[in-house]
Amino acid sequence: MSYHILITPSALKMLAAIPDRQVQEKLRDRIDGLAQEPEKQGRSLTGELAGYRSLRAVGQRYRLIYRIEEDQVLVVVVAIGMCQEGSKRDVYTLARKLLRLRLLEPPQE
């Protein structure tokens, strides 16, 4: 079964902000790969981001944060960026902030 991919407007902005076009292409390829068995890719997140998954991309530096909506056969990519622990620009920090500001819909149980 093939899933449809939806990239949120905030994730599209994050992708467009990456200056290296080759990195953008590799991230797009990784996103396209989520159409097949997304539940077997990445890892489940915990805490505030429970219900979302994180997938490493582009030499392990970048992360794609997404959720799977089984009932709609849909993968929603909500954040794209570098993992920079302790930085305000860390993708997990940005995703938690988007969730707190209610710019991300919580995953459906």
| pLDDT at residue 41, as a whole number | 94
Question: Domain 4-100: which topology?
Answer: YaeB-like fold (3.30.2310)
d(CA 34, CA 4): 9
Residue 106 has what pLDDT? 57
Q: Is the pLDDT of residue 78 over 90?
A: yes
What pLDDT does 89 receive? Answer: 83
Nearest to 43 by CA among 7, 1, 84, 92: 92
pLDDT higher than 80, residue 50: yes
Strands 4-7 and 74-82 turn out to be parallel
What's the whole-model pTM score? Answer: 0.89
Hunting for tokens 């970048």 — which residue is that? 62
Phi, psi values for residue 15, rounded to 5°:
-65, -45
Per-residue burial over 87-103, b if 16 or more Cβ lie within 10 Å, else e, is eeebbbbbbbebbeeee
